[in-house]
Amino acid sequence: MRADGFSRMSIRASQIALGVAVLGVWQAGVSLKILDPFFFSRPSDIAARVATWVATGSIWRHLAVTLEESLLGLIIGSAIGIALGFALARSPFAARVLDPYITMLNAVPRVVLAPLFLLWFGLGIWSKVALAVTLVFFVMFFNTYQGVRDADRVIVDNVRMLGATERQLMRHVLFPSALSWIFSSLHTSLGFAMVGAVVGEYLGAARGLGYVIAQAEGTFDTTGVFAGMTVLSAVVAVVGAGVTRLERYLLRWKA
Amino acid sequence: MTAIAFDHVGCDFVTPDGSSYRAVHDVSFAAAPGAFVAIVGPSGCGKSTLLNAAAGLRVPSAGAVTIDGTPLAGLNRRATYMFQQDALLPWKNVRDNVGLGLVLAGVTRPEAGRRADEWLARVGLSTFASHYPSQLSGGMRKRVAMAQNWVIDRPIVLMDEPFSALDVHTRQRMETELLSLWDEGPARRTVLFVTHDLEEAIALADEVVVLSAGPASRVVARYPVPLERPRDLMELRTTPAFIELYKSTWSVLREEVLKSQRGDASRAR
């Protein structure tokens, strides 16, 4: 896309320059003793730590667990959210009845649920998956609900006149119409799924990126904390790019 | 024998303040099978409401719509409806849009695609089969909509100001294409064509039904259009017979347009 007049190259170059500048100021700040390395570590140490983790392979099993939890949370949360979003958008009565409960549940801070989930689902992956689900569900639910309700009245009437049954209307109009809303929320949901998994691990687990970060924190190892964050962000960025590609393909009809 | 008949049809709307507003009152007229009937009237007179009642999208508050002698219940499955606004599915390409009605009726996708291609050839859009609606001009989108409606073989065609958003020249081309679609084939379909443009109504129709200004519009006059077919729309509008018809119909419609303007002015005060 070049509608805004900026070339891809100049944007990419500026992005890299910005990143280098921030890291450079950080590194210089520590070298010049403005920043205390005990609290802030330094970019070169963090990079070295990440490199060690990758070289020894110790990070992979933690990463695999976190990804597994996030993915399961994303899939289960999306499935429930999309299904319920559809159901309530097509049933205004049920939507009115459930509205205050949904608002109340959504207002609950998820962190306070973590100990409950640990009790209910144990220290394994399922307590983290559950936490991710509670985050992903609401984003997906609200967007699907809005997307279905937002479907163009004229297109709905047109397709009904062309002979669609309720089920065909869903498939040919309501679902595609909701899809652009669902996709725009998929990036947010993906981030939320990772947050759910990592927070769950942070509060009680034997492996996973959240566990790695918690361990580092327990020994005042700020380099370890930052290194864990770096791996986490890198993974989110890579998966997010994949989602963008999928989105571009599925929403290719947009002008 | 009538294809579609309005029998003392009335339509009420509930206004935002809770009171009831009668848009259409006691409308009765019928269209014979294969007839092209145009409905004209000042804006806001309930033309579209009447068409929605014929489609089954709106249930009349009074009276009934009968299709081939049977009172209409639910959606009108013997009619297609071409809307004023864009009603194509933006996420389906042109071929899939045209073939949609067939797919919904259980025709396999390859077969629906093949028949859609035939219709695309007829409306001159063969090379655009894989394009999405957002990549087409307004006139092309109207042609796709026309093919989408005509590919499913239904005896009644409802059209709600389908060409009102187009420029004059594109519009005349679309009108010509519409007439040739209507004219070909073994049996003509019954067309109910809503427009606010009297010229368009006379040029296309066998009969022009004039509605009064709203609220509570009713039929004030019905004019048969005895112009010969096939009609050359490029020349027709300057022929004496056309001008004569236009003058007499306009004398009635003008009164209603003036009334509706006075009504708007008094409401504005």
Restricting to A residues 113-132, those with a Cβ less than 8 Å away from any Cβ of B are none
Q: How far apart are CA B202 and CA B197, in angstroms?
A: 9
Q: Is B186 a member of any domain? A: yes
Closest Cα partner for A71 from A173, A176, A246, A197? A197
Mean pLDDT calculated for residue range A187-193: 90
Q: Is B148 a member of any domain? A: no
Asked if residues B96 and B151 have their Cβ atoms less than 8 Å apart, the reply is no
Asked if residues B6 and B51 have their Cβ atoms less than 8 Å apart, the reply is no
Q: How far apart are CA A222 and CA A117, in angstroms?
A: 28
Q: Is B164 a member of any domain? A: yes
Q: Is B95 a member of any domain? A: no
- Residue B263 pLDDT: 78
Q: How far apart are CA B174 and CA B151, in angstroms?
A: 17
pLDDT at A173 over 60: yes
- Residue A134 pLDDT: 94
**Sheet-wide strand order for B70-71:** B20-31, B4-14, B62-67, B70-71
- Residue A250 pLDDT: 85
- Residue A252 pLDDT: 86
Whole-number Cα distances in Å, A185 to A135, A191, A192, A236, A244 = 12, 10, 10, 15, 11
Instruction: Write b or e for each residue in B17-37: b if 16 or more Cβ atoms lie within 10 A of its Cβ, otherwise e.
Output: eeeeebbbbbbebebeeebbb
Measure B150 CA to nearest chain A CA, in Å.
10
Q: Tens place of pLDDT for every residue, chain B, 269 residues?
A: 789 999 999 999 888 888 888 889 999 999 999 999 999 998 878 889 999 999 999 999 999 999 998 999 999 999 999 999 989 999 999 999 999 999 999 999 999 999 999 999 988 899 999 999 999 999 999 999 999 999 998 999 999 999 998 898 889 999 999 999 898 877 899 999 999 999 999 999 999 999 998 788 899 999 999 999 889 988 998 999 999 999 999 998 998 888 888 877 776 65
CB contact under 8 A, B101 and A172: no
pLDDT in tens, A209-252: 999 999 999 999 999 999 999 999 999 899 889 988 988 888 88
- Residue A224 pLDDT: 93
| Number of helices (H), then strands (E), in chain A | 12, 0
pLDDT at A2 over 70: no
Per the model's pLDDT, the better-predicted residue between B27 and A3 turns out to be B27
On whether any CB of chain B is under 8 Å from the CB of A169, the answer is no
On whether any CB of chain A is under 8 Å from the CB of B130, the answer is no
Mean pLDDT calculated for residue range A3-13: 84
pLDDT in tens, A220-230: 999 999 999 99
Where along chain A do its domains lie? 1-35, 39-250
pLDDT at A163 over 80: yes
Measure A114 CA to nearest chain B CA, in Å.
41
Could you tell me which CATH class the domain A39-250 is placed in? mainly alpha
Give the domain extent around B212: 4-78+154-268
- Amino acid, res. A155: I
Q: Is B217 a member of any domain? A: yes
Measure A161 CA to nearest chain B CA, in Å.
6
- Residue B37 pLDDT: 96
pLDDT in tens, A77-98: 999 999 999 999 988 899 999 9
Q: Are strands B62-67 and B36-40 parallel, antiparallel or unpaired?
A: unpaired
Return the residue matching tokens 């020349």: B235
Give me A18's structure tokens: 């910005």
Q: Say what the pTM is.
A: 0.81
Q: Are strands B62-67 and B4-14 parallel, antiparallel or unpaired?
A: antiparallel
Asked if residues B124 and B98 have their Cβ atoms less than 8 Å apart, the reply is no
On whether any CB of chain B is under 8 Å from the CB of A160, the answer is yes
Candidates A150, A152, A157, A158: best to mutate against B (most CBs of B within 10 A) is: A158
Name chain B contacts of A176, Cβ cutoff 8 Å.
Answer: 89, 91
Considering its fold, how many domains does chain B have in total? 1
- Residue B269 pLDDT: 57
- Closest Cβ opposite residue A163 in set B86, B93, B105: B105
Residues making up chain B, counted from first to last:
269
Give me A208's structure tokens: 């996973």
Measure B245 CA to nearest chain A CA, in Å.
34
Phi, psi for A165 (deg, rounded to 5): -80, 170
Q: Which of A118-132, A185-199, B253-267 has the lowest mean pLDDT?
A: B253-267
* Interface contacts A/B by beta carbons within 8 Å: 65
Burial (Cβ within 10 Å: 0-12, 13-18, ≥19) of residue B12: middle
pLDDT in tens, A29-74: 999 989 898 999 999 999 999 999 999 999 999 999 999 999 999 9
Q: What is the CATH number of the domain that holds B246?
A: 3.40.50.300
pLDDT at A178 over 80: yes
